[in-house]
Amino acid sequence: MNEYDSNRILDLVKSIGYTATNNPSDADCYVLNTCHIREKATDKVYHDIGRLKKEFRNRKKPMLLVTGCVAQAESVEMLNREKYIDGVVGPQSYHLIPEIIKKIESNKNKNKINSTEFDVVEKFDTLNLIKNSSSKISSYLTIQEGCDKFCHFCVVPYTRGPEFSRSFSEVVKEAKQLVQNGSKEITLLGQNVNAYEYIDQTNTYRLSDLLVKLNNFKELNRIRYTTSHPKDVTKDLIQAHKSCDKLMPILHLPVQSGSSKILNAMNRKHSILEYHEIIEELKRVKPDIRFSSDFIIGYPGETEDDFNQTLDLIERVQFINSYSFIYSPRPGTPAPKKDTINPDVSKKRLIRLQAALEENNSKYKNEFLGKSIEVLFENKLDKQNKYFGRDKFLNSVIVESDQDLSGQLMYIEVNNFNHNSLFGTISNDEKRNFAA
Ligand code: SF4
């Protein structure tokens, strides 16, 4: 979502004569768009500011805005701690950035700006008036923001605010802009994307309605959505996985733990049995669907038995391309302070869990060897004759080619893989051993 927001910030500041530069030392204004999900994010912001100060030591200081969820959560503390910052802007106030820049440019008495209101309606009212200029082959499109779930470990409900869904017609309009700009793939975004619900005078629109609508866009090849919550995987959404042929057969469905006891302690609002039922339903309508997930290891109270249940879940679902982290307490969240797990125990569990995920991944990628897969190519890798694309399951695929593959949907014969990517050559026979 930060990538979407950064692009939109760029669209906004173009209206006051700013543009993006690839050369950081040329910049008059820096926007550090931050994420607060993990502990290290804040350190990274101060580290980046340190680098900036060094770079501009003997030159005129550039304007510096810190945006995103770290700005939202730590606004006053940041302005007090780091005088180099000119303004902090929360994720629901970034539509005000052109105004803020103007204010700072003319600010004689050097007042710092703190703009951290939850103005999500006004934000999208402003953004709806400005064309999305992203011309990436694969583009993001925010349809929903905020979260009402209040998982006990998570800062999002406090930094992004309550759930808000954009107007159905505005989302469709923006999707059309992206396709006109050349996008072949659109990923619909939300902190809780499948909680999307927009009600106008006559209809209630859900995520499934958006998927069906986008599926009819002739020039669009692929649709994805992320990140979803198991509680909001509704029957109509499951049905959309069957009826929308452009909806890719991979679903990122965060589970966090394989133990219902820990899920309850996390306030995840579903049991592990319910999670399995969703997976089975989706597999029933879309037999080739695969799943990726997020795992938190060492949540307070997690016993060896709870952890083993997570390993069992991984074995049963055979997740691919998943994320796993050791639990880190976030300020202001209600996760229990007692029953904390010894860091060495958590570390060992994480290693075991990641080994299990990696084993699944290798087994899964090994099945691709010698087979042809359909790849949507996105861009050329820097200074090499290599092109980067993704298959239907979001695997990164790299091939060498003298011809420009960007934007092309091609069949690739896979001949190698590593932890991150599949490698191959352009396949002469599209149908041979067609794997995906
Ligand atoms: S559903 Fe996701 S965004 Fe919402 S509180 Fe839970 S982890 Fe955070």
Q: What is the pLDDT of residues 235-277, one digit of tens each?
A: 999 999 999 999 999 999 999 999 999 999 999 999 999 999 9
User: Is 419's pLDDT higher than 70?
Assistant: yes
Q: Is 96 in the pocket of ligand 1 (CB under 6 A)?
A: no
Q: How confident is the model at residue 284 (pLDDT cuts 50, 70, 90)?
A: very high
Distance 319 CA to ligand 1 centre (A): 20
Residue to probe by mutation, ligand 1, list 191, 193, 325, most atoms within 8 Å of CB: 191
User: What number of other Cβ atoms are within 10 A of residue 412's Cβ?
Assistant: 26
> pLDDT grade, residue 24 (50/70/90)?
confident
The atom of ligand 1 lying closest to the CA of 147 is 4
Give me the CATH code for the 372-426 domain, please.
2.40.50
Write out the CATH class of domain 2-118: alpha beta
More confident residue, 31 or 427: 31
For 239, the 3-state DSSP assignment is helix
Task: Assign 38 a pLDDT band (cuts: 50, 70, 90).
Answer: confident
pLDDT surpassing 50 at residue 434: no
Are the folds of 2-118 and 131-248 the same? no
Distance, CA of 91 to CA of 70 (rounded, Å) = 9
Mutation choice for ligand 1 from 156, 263, 268, 270, CB with most ligand atoms inside 8 A? 156
Query: What ligand 1 atom has the least distance to the C-alpha of 157?
Result: 5
Residue 418 backbone phi and psi in degrees, to 5: -135, -170
Residue 154 Cβ < 6 Å to ligand 1:
yes
CA of 116 to the centre of ligand 1 (A): 20
Domain at 131-248, CATH from 3.30.750.210, 3.30.930.10, 3.30.360.10, 2.102.10.10: 3.30.750.210
Q: In the predicted model, what is the mean pLDDT of residues 210-222?
A: 97
Query: 5 by DSSP, 3-state: which?
Result: helix
Q: Is the pLDDT of residue 433 over 90?
A: no
Range 51-63 average pLDDT: 92
Rounded distance from Cα 346 to ligand 1 centre (Å): 22
Quote the CA–CA distance of 355 and 75 in Å, as a whole number. 39
Does ligand 1 have an atom closer than 6 angstroms to the CB of 434?
no
Whether residue 432 is predicted with pLDDT greater than 50 in this model: the reply is no
Task: Using the mean position of ligand 1's atoms as its centre, give its distance from the Cα of residue 115 in Å.
Answer: 24
CB-CB contact of 26 with 56 (8 Å): no
191 lines ligand 1 (CB under 6 A): yes
Output the DSSP codes for 169-206: HHHHHHHHHHHHHT-SEEEEE-TTGGG-EEE-SS-EEE
Query: Ligand 1 centroid to 21 CA: how many Å?
Result: 34
Q: Among the atoms of ligand 1, which is closest to the Cα of residue 155?
A: 8
Asked if 231 and 270 count as a contact pair (C-beta separation under 8 A), the reply is: yes
Residue to mutate (ligand 1; options 72, 154, 294; most atoms within 8 A of CB): 154
Average pLDDT over all residues of the chain: 93
Quote the tokens at residue 225.
Answer: 């959505």
- The protein residue with its alpha carbon nearest to ligand 1, atom 6, reads 151
Q: Is the CB of 151 under 6 A from ligand 1?
A: yes
CA–CA dist 113, 96 (Å, integer): 11
Residue with CA nearest ligand 1 atom 1: 149
Long-range contacts formed by 58-66: CB under 8 A, 24+ apart: 62/27, 62/28, 62/29, 62/30, 63/28, 63/29, 63/30, 63/101, 63/104, 63/105, 64/29, 64/30, 64/32, 65/29, 65/30, 65/31, 65/32, 65/89, 65/97, 65/100, 65/101, 66/32, 66/34
Q: How many Å apart are CA 293 and CA 295, to the nearest integer?
A: 7
73 pocket-lining for ligand 1 (C-beta < 6 Å):
no
Which of 36, 147, 232 for mutating ligand 1's site (highest number of atoms within 8 Å of CB)? 147
| 430 — pLDDT class (breaks 50, 70, 90) | low
Residue appearing with tokens 């986008």: 214
Q: How far is the CA of 154 from the centre of ligand 1 (A)?
A: 6
**Which tokens belong to 187?**
């990923």
Dihedral angle of Cα 415, 421, 425, 429, to the nearest 10 degrees? 80
Helix, coil or strand: residue 213: helix
Residue 336, token pair as written in the block: 């229990």
More confident residue, 342 or 433: 342
CA 171–ligand 1 middle distance (angstroms): 23
CATH number of 250-366: 3.30.750.200
Q: Whose CA is nearest to atom 8 of ligand 1?
A: 154
d(CA 83, CA 88): 12
Residues 197-201: contacts with CB under 8 Å, at least 24 apart: 197/165, 198/165, 198/166, 198/167, 198/168, 200/167, 200/168
* Residue-range domain boundaries for the chain: 2-118, 131-248, 250-366, 372-426
Tokens of 301: 């109270």
Any idea what DSSP says for residue 37?
A: S
Q: Is 25 helix (H, G, I), strand (E, B) or coil?
A: helix
Tokens representing 345 are 């125990």
Residue 160 confidence (pLDDT):
85
Phi, psi of 247 (to 5 degrees): -75, 120
Residue count of the chain, please give it: 436
